[in-house]
């Protein structure tokens, strides 16, 4: 009896050390290959990061944001492909979410910070201090299990430093204004404010979709024509940015109304 008990305890301890085994794969070979193709598609984001980094070293800012924009597009649609392909069921050993997080930190945070430093927008010791604040606060956001809410909002500033960097280049803000924006975003990372996800939150989706299209047109125009952006493109970028921040600010009052309906 003691030997059986000892054996059971040993097995239990080993299971605790190694964690649960991988879930059973579902679907045939073709289904698993299709699921793997979604992971490969997600992985293309890190290739974009490589070419964006090379463009940063060349100080070719249009090419930098073209590659970061492509990475953003991939990140925006790969989740839909994953849900359609039931990737989590068919390849349970591989975490698409973890893969996405690794790539996002590089393309959303690290490369944009490198661009801000190499582009002279974060000069001197003060600039390096801001860069360190961006990197560390973003690590907090990415490692926070509570960084997304049940209504598909981000909790705390969602570390979209690729967008912030794009605005700083497009608007050609002076250092003091750029520093204020960065400090505010770093502070908001730790504040449990909900930030609306433009692709997954259904409230006012018609207006949000139109705003995203306008923003995309202005962004492409800017990348093609160069930095800083044209005055008309700057106006669109600022208005859409204010709309996104405004929707997030009023979300605590909008959400209960939607739940009642």
pLDDT over 70 for what percent of the chain?
Answer: 82
State how far the alpha carbon of 130 is from the alpha carbons of 151, 164, 229, in Å.
Answer: 31, 13, 24
pLDDT bin (cut points 50, 70, 90) of residue 206 is confident
Q: Would 14 be classed as within a structural domain?
A: no
Residue 155, φ and ψ in degrees, nearest 5 = -105, 115
In a domain, 17, yes or no: no
Per-residue pLDDT, 25: 53
CA distance 258 to 261: 5
Rounded Cα distance between 96 and 45, Å, is: 13
pTM (2 d.p.): 0.84
In a domain, 132, yes or no: yes
The pLDDT assigned to 2 comes to: 43
Beta pairing class for 154-155 and 194-195 = antiparallel
Residue 61 confidence class, pLDDT cut points 50, 70, 90: very high
In a domain, 6, yes or no: no
Q: What does the pLDDT read at residue 253?
A: 60
Tokens in use for 82?
């994953």
What is the reported pLDDT for 132?
Answer: 98
Give pLDDT tens digits for 120-163: 999 999 999 999 999 999 999 999 988 888 877 899 999 999 99
By CB atoms closer than 10 A (0-12, 13-18, 19+), residue 70 is middle
Domain-located, residue 200: yes
Provide the pLDDT confidence category of residue 19 given band limits of 50, 70 and 90: very low
Predicted confidence at residue 9, as pLDDT, reads: 43
Q: Which residues of 78-87 are buried (b: 16+ CB within 10 A; e: fewer)?
A: bbebbeebeb
Q: Look at residue 256 and give its three-state secondary structure.
A: helix
Q: What's the token pair of residue 98?
A: 């973890």
Q: What is residue 228's three-state secondary structure?
A: coil
d(CA 228, CA 222): 8
Q: Please count the other Cβ atoms lying within 10 Å of the Cβ belonging to residue 139.
A: 14
Please state the φ and ψ torsions of residue 229, each to the nearest 5 degrees: -70, 160
Residue 169 scores a pLDDT above 90 = yes
Q: Please report whether residue 7 resides in a domain.
A: no
Q: How many domains does the chain have?
A: 1
CATH number at residue 252: 1.20.120
Q: How confident is the model at residue 59 (pLDDT cuts 50, 70, 90)?
A: very high
The boundaries of the domain holding residue 53 are 27-260
Within a domain: 150: yes
**85-115 pLDDT, tens per residue?**
777 777 787 876 888 999 999 999 999 999 9
Q: Is 101 within a domain?
A: yes
SS3 195: strand
């Amino acid at each position: 009896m003691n030997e059986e008990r000892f054996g059971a305890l040993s097995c239990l301890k080993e299971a605790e050390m190694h964690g649960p085994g991988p879930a059973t794969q579902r679907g045939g070979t073709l289904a698993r290959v299709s699921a793997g193709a979604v992971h490969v598609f997600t992985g293309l984001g890190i290739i974009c990061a490589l070419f964006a980094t090379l463009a940063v070293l060349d100080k070719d800012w249009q090419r930098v944001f073209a590659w970061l924009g492509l990475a953003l597009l991939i990140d925006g649609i790969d989740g839909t492909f994953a849900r359609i392909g039931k990737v989590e069921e068919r390849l349970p050993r591989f975490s698409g979410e973890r893969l996405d997080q690794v790539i996002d930190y590089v393309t959303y945070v690290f490369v944009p910070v490198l661009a801000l430093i190499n582009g002279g927008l974060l000069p001197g010791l003060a600039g390096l201090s801001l860069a360190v604040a961006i990197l560390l606060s973003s690590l907090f956001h990415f490692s926070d299990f509570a960084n997304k809410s049940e209504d598909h909002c981000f909790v705390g500033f969602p570390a979209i430093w690729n967008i912030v960097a794009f605005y700083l280049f497009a608007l050609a803000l002076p250092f003091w204004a750029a520093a204020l924006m960065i400090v505010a975003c770093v502070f908001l990372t730790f504040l449990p404010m909900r930030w609306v996800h433009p692709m997954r939150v259904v409230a006012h989706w018609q207006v949000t979709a139109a705003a995203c299209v306008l923003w995309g047109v202005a962004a492409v125009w800017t990348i093609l024509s160069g930095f800083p952006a044209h005055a008309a493109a700057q106006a669109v970028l600022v208005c859409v940015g204010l709309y996104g921040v405004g929707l997030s600010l009023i979300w605590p009052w909008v959400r209960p109304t939607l739940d009642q309906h």
